[in-house]
C-alpha cells in the first residue's frame, strides 16, 4: 500500500439505506492457474450455471506467500520496483497462470529510470464488453519482502484465479486479473495500465475490485465505502461501487463478521480506475493506523497498529493473520462468483442463532452420557497458547477473547490440561429452528494432537433432536503431529427445519494416552 499518512479508519457504525440486490454491477475477468504439477489445465467445460463460490484453502494462499518470501530472500530481501525480486515475482505468477490456460500479457513501463511490469491475465470467454477486473499490487518497498503489503492481496487473487481455472468457471462476464508494479512509488503500474486503454476499453471494464493488505496481523475488516454512507473524505465511488460494497458486505454478514467503511483516499490501485469512472471496491485490513478500543471490541486484537511491520523488514510470512487471510480470500471468491455470473445468488441468509462466546450463553459442560475425561474438559475460556514443539492450543480466538476450549489454561507443561481419560462434551442451549429449510450451520474449529494420537481420538459436532443424537461433523485423530490451526466448517441443517435442537461438541482421547486439544468459536446458524 502506498505510503501516505492518513487517519485511522473510523470505528463508527456504517449505516446504510436499504439497497437493491446487486445485478450486473461489476463484471470480473479472471486469470489463473496452478503449477502444472499441482494443477491440471482446465478442460473446455460447458458453461456453469449458478455455481456456488468455492472455499479458498488458506494453506494454498500461504504457499504462494512462501514463494514470494523465498524470492525476496534470494534477491536482496525485497521485491521492489526495478529490483530483480520484483521481476521474479511476476514470473512466478505468470507461469502459474500460463499453465492454467489464461491469456497473459506482461506490460512494461518506465519509472525513475527503471523498467516496471504489470501482469494482465484474461480468462477465456464471457462478454468482453462487460469485464470485471480483480487487481492487487505485487511490488514491495525496498525495506522488506512485502508479504502482507501486498503479497497477501496478490496471493489471494492468484489462488482465486487458480480456482476459476480448476473449476472451469465460465461466467457471463469476462474476467481479467491484474498484478501491478510500482504501486509503492505512487500507483505507477495501475496508472500506466489505465492510461494505455482507449475510451472504449475503459468503458468495457464495468467494475474493478482491489485487494491490498488482506492479512494484517492485528486485523480490521474494512470495505471501501462505495456509497459514501460514512459521509467522510472523498465521497462515493462511480456508480456501481455501492453494489460491489454490498456484495462483499453480504459475505461477511453470512459468516458473522462485522465490517466498517474505509474511504477512497487514493492510497491504492483503485485510484486510476475510479478517476476513469470505473466502479470499484475491495477489502483492507489496516496498515500503520492504530486499532481503537471500539474496534478491539468489534474484532478482537489489541489497541495497537493494525500492521506493526508496515513497510519494514519484518513484513515476512510471520506477519500474517491466518484467520483474516482465510476470510478475505473466501470473500474475494464470493464476490467474483456472485458478480461475474450474471444471475445473482440470493442473500446469504437470515441469522437464526449466533454465538461468539464473548458472554456466557448457557452451554452445559460434560452433558454427554459417555463423558469420562479426567482432564482438559471443555469450557468457555480465554485460552493460553501451549506448545510441545507443535502448537497444541492457540492463545488467540477467531474473534474476541473467548472460545470453547479443552482446558483453557496453559499449565506447567503442554500436556497438563489436555484431554485425558476419554470424552468431554459441551452442549448448547435449545435452539428453535424455523421451518422452510435452507438452514446452514457454520463454525470455526481445530483439533490438535501429537504423533502418539490414533483414529480412536476425535473431534465431533452432533445435533440432538428429541431422543435422537446425530453426528454431523467428525474429525478423527491420527498417528501424526497435527498443529492447532483455525478452520471453518459448514453443515446443512435443513433436515431439522421446524425443530428444537441442541448442538453438542465432543472431543476424546481414547485408547493409548495422547496429547489432544480442541476448540470451537463463532457458531452461526442461518436460513436462506
Euclidean distance between CA atoms 66 and 522, whole angstroms: 29
Kindly give the pairing relationship between strand 391-393 and strand 364-365.
unpaired
CB 196 within 8 A of CB 131: no
Query: Does residue 445 sit in helix, strand or coil?
Result: strand
Taken in order 411, 414, 420, 423, is the CA torsion positive or negative? Answer: positive
Euclidean distance between CA atoms 376 and 182, whole angstroms: 51
Taken in order 399, 488, 249, 498, is the CA torsion positive or negative? Answer: negative
Give the Cβ contact number of residue 191 at 10 Å. 20
Angle among Cα 102, 106, 107 to the nearest 5 degrees reads 130
**CB contact burial 302-333 (16+ within 10 A = b; e otherwise):** eeebbbebbbbeebbeebbbbbbbbbbbbbbb
DSSP bridge partners of 444 = 488, 521
Nearest C-alpha neighbor of 334 from the set 317, 347, 320 = 347
Euclidean distance between CA atoms 500 and 26, whole angstroms: 41
Which residue in the list 183, 184, 379, 517 is annotated as catalytic? Answer: 183
The owner of cell 469485464 is 131
Q: What is the DSSP letter of 375?
A: B
Give the Cβ contact number of residue 364 at 10 Å. 14
Greatest C-alpha distance within the chain: 75
Euclidean distance between CA atoms 103 and 92, whole angstroms: 15
Taken in order 220, 226, 232, 234, is the CA torsion positive or negative? Answer: positive
The owner of cell 463454525 is 443
In sequence order, what are the residues at sequence separation of 6 or more whose Cβ sits closer than 8 angstroms to the Cβ of residue 41?
33, 99, 100, 101, 165
Q: What is the DSSP letter of 47?
A: P
Is 379 catalytic? The answer is: no
Angle among Cα 99, 101, 106 to the nearest 5 degrees reads 75
Nearest C-alpha neighbor of 520 from the set 480, 473, 454, 477 = 473
DSSP bridge partners of 507 = 424, 459
* 156 alpha-carbon distance from chain centroid: 8
Catalogue the active-site residues: 183
Amino acid at each position: 500500500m502506498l505510503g501516505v499518512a492518513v487517519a485511522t479508519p473510523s470505528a463508527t457504525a456504517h449505516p446504510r439505506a436499504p439497497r437493491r440486490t446487486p445485478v450486473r454491477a461489476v463484471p470480473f475477468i479472471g486469470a489463473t492457474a496452478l503449477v502444472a504439477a499441482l494443477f491440471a489445465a482446465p478442460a473446455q467445460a460447458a458453461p456453469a450455471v449458478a455455481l456456488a463460490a468455492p472455499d479458498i484453502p488458506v494453506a494454498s494462499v500461504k504457499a504462494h506467500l512462501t514463494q514470494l518470501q523465498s524470492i525476496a530472500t534470494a534477491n536482496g530481501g525485497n521485491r521492489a520496483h526495478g529490483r530483480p525480486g520484483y521481476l521474479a515475482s511476476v514470473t512466478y505468477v505468470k507461469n502459474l497462470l500460463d499453465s492454467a490456460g489464461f491469456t497473459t500479457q506482461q506490460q512494461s513501463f518506465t519509472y525513475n529510470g527503471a523498467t516496471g511490469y504489470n501482469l494482465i491475465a484474461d480468462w477465456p470467454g464471457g462478454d468482453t464488453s462487460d469485464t470485471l477486473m480483480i487487481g492487487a499490487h505485487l511490488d514491495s518497498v525496498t525495506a522488506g519482502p512485502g508479504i502482507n503489503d501486498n503479497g497477501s492481496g496478490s496471493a489471494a487473487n492468484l489462488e482465486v484465479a487458480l480456482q476459476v481455472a480448476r473449476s472451469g468457471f465460465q461466467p457471463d462476464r469476462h474476467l481479467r486479473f491484474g498484478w501491478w508494479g510500482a504501486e509503492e512509488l505512487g500507483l505507477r503500474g495501475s496508472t500506466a495500465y489505465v492510461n494505455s486503454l482507449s475510451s472504449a476499453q475503459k468503458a468495457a471494464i464495468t467494475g474493478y475490485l482491489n485487494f491490498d493488505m488482506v492479512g494484517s496481523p492485528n486485523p480490521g475488516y474494512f470495505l471501501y465505502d462505495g456509497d459514501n454512507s460514512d459521509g467522510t473524505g472523498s465521497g462515493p465511488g462511480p456508480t456501481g461501487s455501492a453494489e460491489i460494497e454490498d456484495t462483499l458486505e453480504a459475505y461477511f454478514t453470512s459468516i458473522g463478521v462485522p465490517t466498517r467503511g474505509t474511504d477512497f483516499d487514493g492510497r491504492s490501485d483503485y485510484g486510476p480506475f475510479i478517476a476513469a469512472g470505473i466502479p470499484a471496491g475491495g477489502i483492507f485490513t489496516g496498515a500503520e493506523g492504530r486499532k481503537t478500543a471500539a474496534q478491539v471490541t468489534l474484532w478482537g486484537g489489541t489497541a495497537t497498529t493494525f500492521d506493526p511491520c508496515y513497510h519494514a523488514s519484518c513484513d515476512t510470512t510471520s506477519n500474517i493473520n491466518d484467520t483474516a487471510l482465510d476470510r478475505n480470500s473466501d470473500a474475494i471468491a464470493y464476490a467474483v462468483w456472485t458478480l461475474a455470473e450474471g444471475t445473482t445468488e440470493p442473500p446469504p441468509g437470515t441469522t437464526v442463532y449466533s454465538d461468539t462466546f464473548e458472554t456466557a450463553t448457557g452451554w452445559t459442560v460434560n452433558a454427554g452420557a459417555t463423558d469420562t475425561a479426567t482432564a482438559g474438559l471443555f469450557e468457555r475460556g480465554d485460552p493460553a497458547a501451549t506448545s510441545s514443539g507443535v502448537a497444541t492450543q492457540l492463545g488467540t480466538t477467531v474473534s474476541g477473547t473467548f472460545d470453547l476450549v479443552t482446558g483453557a489454561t496453559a499449565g506447567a507443561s503442554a500436556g497438563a490440561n489436555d484431554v485425558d481419560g476419554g470424552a468431554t462434551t459441551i452442549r448448547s442451549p435449545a435452539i428453535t429452528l424455523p421451518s422452510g429449510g435452507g438452514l446452514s450451520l457454520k463454525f470455526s474449529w481445530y483439533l490438535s494432537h501429537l504423533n502418539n494420537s490414533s483414529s480412536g481420538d476425535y473431534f465431533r459436532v452432533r445435533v440432538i433432536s428429541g431422543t435422537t443424537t446425530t453426528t454431523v461433523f467428525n474429525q478423527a485423530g491420527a498417528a501424526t503431529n497435527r498443529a492447532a490451526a483455525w478452520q471453518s466448517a459448514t453443515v446443512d441443517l435443513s433436515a431439522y427445519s421446524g425443530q428444537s435442537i441442541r448442538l453438542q461438541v465432543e472431543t476424546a482421547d481414547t485408547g493409548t494416552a495422547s496429547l489432544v486439544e480442541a476448540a470451537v468459536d463463532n457458531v452461526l446458524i442461518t436460513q436462506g
